[in-house]
Amino acid sequence: MAYFDHGPLVIGDLIVPTPVVQGGMGIGVSLSGLAAAVANEGGLGVLSAASVGMVNRKNTPGGNIEALRGEIRRAREKTAGALGVNIMVALSDFGDMVKTSVEEGIDIIFAGAGLPLNLPAFVKKGCKTKLAPIVSSARAVKTISKWWREKYDYIPDAVVVEGPMAGGHLGFRKEQIDDPAYRLENLVPQVIEAIRPLEEQVGRKIPVIAAGGIFTGADIRRFLHLGASAVQMATRFVATDECDADIAFKQAYVDCKKEDIGIIESPVGMPGRAIVNRFLHEAKQGTRRPKACPFHCISTCTRETSPYCISMALINACKGKLDNGFAFIGANGYKVKEIVPVKKLFETLEQEYRQSGGNAEEEET
């Protein structure tokens, strides 16, 4: 188990020994295998709920729910550590996914890709499952918290603030992505400041988890130094033995160069960061338009205007069929050099953290 002198991530009665949250990655990239391995190293392992049934070929009514339930149970069989589920607000079955996760006793639900204004509606009073919105600004924290307090008498248990260097769908406009004002280093203190009045109201700590572009142990130290209670990392966990994606998907990360990473327009209506490959070039030329919509998985996606079916593209990629799909990746993904066990990755992060010593403010992502 990795050691960081910062101490554990404490979310109410949920204690995560190592203040590292593994980001949820869909479709099928972070399921029970990766999440359990991370939890066994003292971190918080997170499964992605996005179209999980389609990965397991359960494209039937309730197939996603059945598959998610199965993944949570498999993860629980492999670990006694902390487990979470990442559920995109834009999913058509968002509410059912939340209910299922709660029924299965998941420790925490992370919800992003939109404002999760109704998330507490699916959780009964006294439920032990924690709720954490994923935001990109202090303004979003204030909006969500005000709504939750007035409508549900609920305050977030934790908050993830994700900056524009993240992989996958980004909560920023295209022109904001490279704007220094939106750097994670600026967003974290702003969100912490927005959280303080809420902490005073409820008389408890509301941890802020920094995410987006965090790659090394030195990055971890730097954001903990800025006041974050933990960091969320996703990209670096792809190149691990336990990651649930196909070896070809992982190898795409190892082979990726900085110039291969670009910002794309996703069919769900948000910009995203991905490894730009032939599939995406063809999609931009209009040769990958879907003939039908078999999944109806994303509420903001329509077949008539979509350049491709994003669910099918991500499923294909996860299964190693990158000629018919693509991989999301963080801005620092080109730094991945090898595929390693999760245990070794945590040991490396600990070593990097220790070596960074007093240089936390000097090194940048």
The angle at the Cα of 310, spanning 67 to 76, to the nearest 5 degrees, equals 25
pLDDT at position 292: 57
pLDDT in tens, 264-279: 988 877 899 999 999 9
- Domain limits, CATH 3.20.20.70, in the chain: 9-245+334-356
Distance, in Å, from the CA atom of 9 to the CA atom of 345, rounded to the nearest integer, reads 19
Residue 283: strand, helix, or coil = helix
Q: Quick one: residue 339, left, alpha or beta (phi over 0 = left, psi -120 to 50 = alpha)? A: beta
pLDDT in tens, 52-111: 887 665 555 478 899 999 999 999 999 999 999 999 998 888 999 999 999 999 999 999
The secondary structure of 3-23 as a DSSP string is --TT--EEETTEEESSSEEEP
pLDDT at position 363: 45
Indicate the residue type of 292: A
pLDDT of 361 above 50: no
- If you average pLDDT over residues 227-239, what whole number do you get? 98
Query: What is 9-245+334-356's CATH number, 3.20.20.70, 3.40.140.10, 3.30.1390.20, 3.30.230.10?
Result: 3.20.20.70
Q: pLDDT band at residue 152, thresholds of 50, 70 and 90?
A: very high
Whole-model pTM? 0.93
